Structure 1
Amino acid sequence: MTVWKPKGSPFYYCSFVVKKQRFSGPTKLANERDARAFEKRWKAAEKRKLDLHGALHGRDMTMLDAVDRLTKEKVQQNGRAPYRDRDLDWLVEHIGPETKLSEIDAGTIAAVIEKRRQMCRWDDPKYGAVRGGTITQSVLRPLSALRNRAIDVWKIPLPDMPKLSMYFGEPYARTRELSIREELALLPECRDYRDLVEFILRSGLRRESALIRKSEVFLEEGRIKVWVKAKRNKKLLEIPITPAIDRIIRANIDNPTDFVFTYRKRTKNGVVAMPITSSGFFGAFKAAAARAGIADLVVHDLRRTAGARMYRATGNIAAVSKFLGHASVVITMKHYVHILPDDVSIAMRAAEAAHGDLVAKALANETLH
């Protein structure tokens, strides 16, 4: 690598060779140290371009280059990155930025999953180990997308890298629900957040979506219209206002803020109503569960409970899926509807009773004839 300043020029020039190709030109920098740093970055960028060009013709690619390319192509395709930068950075760091995709095998994947599983939520031991859903979203799905893109689009053969879908079947899905007895113990301990907890149990909304504004409530139409999380962006979800939801909203809507749900905050001027925030609700809910003596309960369990209770009351999985705003019934069945042994027993007894009725009717018809 060479850096020099031509006579009469205020800027430094540089020249270097990458894979038998020479690159040279002005750095447009007047400081030699800055020019050398520019040259280093330029050379690294040209090397990466040549590696990517080679990959297009069936050659291998490093983990770092593959992640960069996957992100760029997904942004061009969908207008946004499908995975969080911190998750991708973590994968690159623990698999190795210079590790070739062809070097990733089942052992590599198992090792990185185990590393993630041993980590704590929010890097704090008091919150316990990360949950299965976090491992799926932060490790398995990005790696699966990377593998599929490399094989199907970039035409890179990866004979040793297994399908990541084989790991999705591990017992990661959370099945925790709130029992009626726990609900009766929890609600009095929620204090200012009690109505919000009841609202989520009735509406099935996620924590962020449940913090509705007054402008999203249409009491005359009997609807709440709120933008909720979707696969690629957001979508408008209409929540019917049932008598229970109507009671909750009317008890909270007459406050001086733009939001329906508030909490009381002490200030120098007295007690004022403040909108409930997502993070504030998280902490308050955790404290309420501890006061009620309820272990292993998080806010999202309220949404899961709402879906499970509706399914057990109606048996209509399609209605539950629409109620929860899922794009597919498969998502509902996998993550929110858990058939317990008691449910199976009840269904079996109902089937036997129905069969007995059919037999009795058949015998009655034969007697009449």
Structure 2
Amino acid sequence: MTLYRPPGTNIWTYRFFFKGQRFQGSTGETDKRKAERIERAAKIEVQKQALATPHQQAGAGMTVLHAVSKYLERQRSNGNINLRDLGTEEKEFERIVDWIGPDTLMSNVTLETMRMIVERRKLQPRLNGKGEPVLKWNPETRSMEPVKLSGATINRYTWSLFRRVYMMARDEWQVPVTPIKWSLLAQREAGPRTREIKLEEEAKIREHCREDYGACFMFALLAGLRLSNFATLTWQQIDLGNREIKVVQKGGREHVIKIDDEMLEILLNERGKHPVYVFTFVCRKTWTNPKNGLRYVAGKRYPLTKWGFATWFHRTRTKLGFDIRIHDCRRTSGGRLLRGTGNLRAVQQHLGHANIAITAKHYSHVPPADMLELQNRANEASKRRREKLEELVAKSNLEADAPNVQVPVQVSPTRKDKLLKQIAKLSQRKTMARRRSKPE
């Protein structure tokens, strides 16, 4: 509503927005039609001024470096953002600013500029934690080749990341940016990973794992928590009386899961091993961690770390030849719960997804709990139809092979009497007709 009357007066006032800037004033009229004409005239005047001085806007001279710096400053002041995610954004923005040019005006960034960023990013290989290219064996060339970046990574850390700065510059800082159709930059992405740990694989891992790491592994399968939540779980987070566990998930959201019977048995077995942390391990050989300088003595028990669990998991899966990841434990927990109950809402609450659409996206491959019964019923119905069709075909073949014998028609006595009477009447009529035709 652009026209309104303030309380206590009959004079109309206009208020409208143009390119993010608000314009407001009194029309001086009590008649609404006259006020509307004044408002239209004010809008036309504002548009004329914008066309006459297109480069006099507040953010007309903002450079790419200035815009990215303002965006990152706001991100740092946001207490809900993960520091690791913030560090990744800063690193990616450093590359984008360098490729576009720090002194390039935001108004000069076009679709071709962003296409250049995407194409240059596609040529770069995937890097590991040490900053080295990840290599993969290519059976065609029989050599180790760098792994290319996925479409999701390119989308997330190139045009989609810079689009946040672009939208903020346009809507908040009144920068006259060039319109960009961002959908033309999107790279094809693979669907969500659906790999789960099979029961046979779980049994083999339990056979080959150590007792301390095995307890943590089984708890991860049941709880469905992320590595950062279950590996460093503390007793302070656990409420055995109410059978609840409280963790802080991504984005700073608090999540509560219930402790089932199997999880309770694991937790009770771990009580008394450490006053703070739930999962611990017994050091097998004395060594010093080169990263933090901590010394581990053989035979002593220490709290489990997510890096230690990741190392053990990687060695175990390599030894057994399984193509599984740590996050597959969380996916397995959700998949088993959905198969057993068919309740997607329960899976969302168990995993702590903020939106049920996320749960539906990642677990749409899981069939309903009664799908096996429905498939068996469908197979039985198909089997009955197939048998009936075979009977009809066999019967038609027998009739085709039988000799062509004329079978006398069986006529009922009542029908026979009626036919005889009709024949007698016809013969009588013919006789009368012949008599009439003879000359006298």
In structure 1, C-alpha distance between the alignment counterparts of 2:160 and 2:297, rounded to whole Å: 51
Say which SS state the counterpart of residue 103 (structure 2) adopts: coil
- Is the CA contact (8 Å cut-off) linking 1:264 and 1:273 kept in structure 2? yes
State whether structure 2 residue 87 is matched by structure 1 residue 87: no
Question: Kindly tell me: are residues 67 and 58 of structure 1, through their superposed partners in 2, closer, same or farther at Cα, counting changes over 3 Å?
Answer: closer
- Is the CA contact (8 Å cut-off) linking 2:159 and 2:182 kept in structure 1? no
State whether structure 2 residue 329 is matched by structure 1 residue 302: yes
- Is the CA contact (8 Å cut-off) linking 2:281 and 2:302 kept in structure 1? yes
Matching residue of 1:189: 208
Shift of 1:246: 0.6
Task: Report the residue type matching 1:149 in the other structure.
Answer: M
Q: Which of 351, 357, 381 is the aligned partner of 1:324?
A: 351
Matching residue of 1:64: 65
Q: Which of 215, 220, 225 is the aligned partner of 1:205?
A: 225
Question: Per-residue CA shift, 1:295-328, capped at 9, x if unaligned?
Answer: 2x22112112222222233232222112111111
Matching residue of 2:103: 98
Matching residue of 2:430: none
Matching residue of 1:220: 241
% identical aligned pairs: 25
Unaligned runs of 5+ in 2: 1-54, 137-146, 287-295, 382-440
In structure 2, C-alpha distance between the alignment counterparts of 1:222 and 1:235, rounded to whole Å: 20
Q: Which of 275, 278, 282 is the aligned partner of 1:264?
A: 282
Matching residue of 2:414: none
Question: Kindly tell me: are residues 164 and 193 of structure 1, through their superposed partners in 2, closer, same or farther at Cα, counting changes over 3 Å?
Answer: farther
In structure 1, C-alpha distance between the alignment counterparts of 2:170 and 2:305, rounded to whole Å: 44
Question: Kindly tell me: are residues 208 and 347 of structure 1, through their superposed partners in 2, closer, same or farther at Cα, counting changes over 3 Å?
Answer: same
In structure 2, C-alpha distance between the alignment counterparts of 1:282 and 1:57, rounded to whole Å: 51
1:323-362 matched pairs, under 5 angstroms: 323-334=350-361, 336-339=362-365, 343=367, 347=371, 350=374
State whether structure 2 residue 194 is matched by structure 1 residue 175: yes
Matching residue of 2:310: 282
Question: Per-residue CA shift, 1:26-77, capped at 9, x if unaligned?
Answer: xxxxxxxxxxxxxxxxxxxxxxxxxxxx895352533222210112234456
Shift of 1:261: 0.4
Say which SS state the counterpart of residue 250 (structure 1) adopts: helix
In structure 2, C-alpha distance between the alignment counterparts of 1:156 and 1:352, rounded to whole Å: 63
Matching residue of 1:249: 267
Matching residue of 2:180: 161
- Is the CA contact (8 Å cut-off) linking 2:64 and 2:105 kept in structure 1? yes
Say which SS state the counterpart of residue 121 (structure 1) adopts: coil
In structure 2, C-alpha distance between the alignment counterparts of 1:337 and 1:166, rounded to whole Å: 28
Say which SS state the counterpart of residue 171 (structure 1) adopts: coil
- Is the CA contact (8 Å cut-off) linking 1:214 and 1:259 kept in structure 2? yes
Matching residue of 1:108: 116
- Is the CA contact (8 Å cut-off) linking 2:249 and 2:255 kept in structure 1? yes
Larger Rg: 2
Say which SS state the counterpart of residue 186 (structure 2) adopts: helix
- Is the CA contact (8 Å cut-off) linking 2:244 and 2:258 kept in structure 1? yes
Cα root mean square deviation, aligned? 3.5
- Is the CA contact (8 Å cut-off) linking 1:253 and 1:261 kept in structure 2? no
- Is the CA contact (8 Å cut-off) linking 1:132 and 1:174 kept in structure 2? no
Say which SS state the counterpart of residue 182 (structure 2) adopts: coil
Matching residue of 2:22: none
Say which SS state the counterpart of residue 226 (structure 1) adopts: strand
Shift of 1:248: 1.2
Question: Kindly tell me: are residues 73 and 258 of structure 1, through their superposed partners in 2, closer, same or farther at Cα, counting changes over 3 Å?
Answer: closer
Say which SS state the counterpart of residue 178 (structure 1) adopts: coil
Question: Per-residue CA shift, 1:55-105, capped at 9, x if unaligned?
Answer: 953525332222101122344566757732223223323443334433342
Say which SS state the counterpart of residue 249 (structure 2) adopts: strand
Task: Report the residue type matching 1:93 in the other structure.
Answer: D
Matching residue of 2:384: none
- Is the CA contact (8 Å cut-off) linking 1:63 and 1:96 kept in structure 2? yes
TM-score normalised according to structure 1 size: 0.68
- Is the CA contact (8 Å cut-off) linking 2:339 and 2:369 kept in structure 1? no
TM-score normalised according to structure 2 size: 0.58
1:68-79 matched pairs, under 5 angstroms: 68-76=69-77
In structure 2, C-alpha distance between the alignment counterparts of 1:184 and 1:132, rounded to whole Å: 35
Question: Kindly tell me: are residues 92 and 257 of structure 1, through their superposed partners in 2, closer, same or farther at Cα, counting changes over 3 Å?
Answer: farther
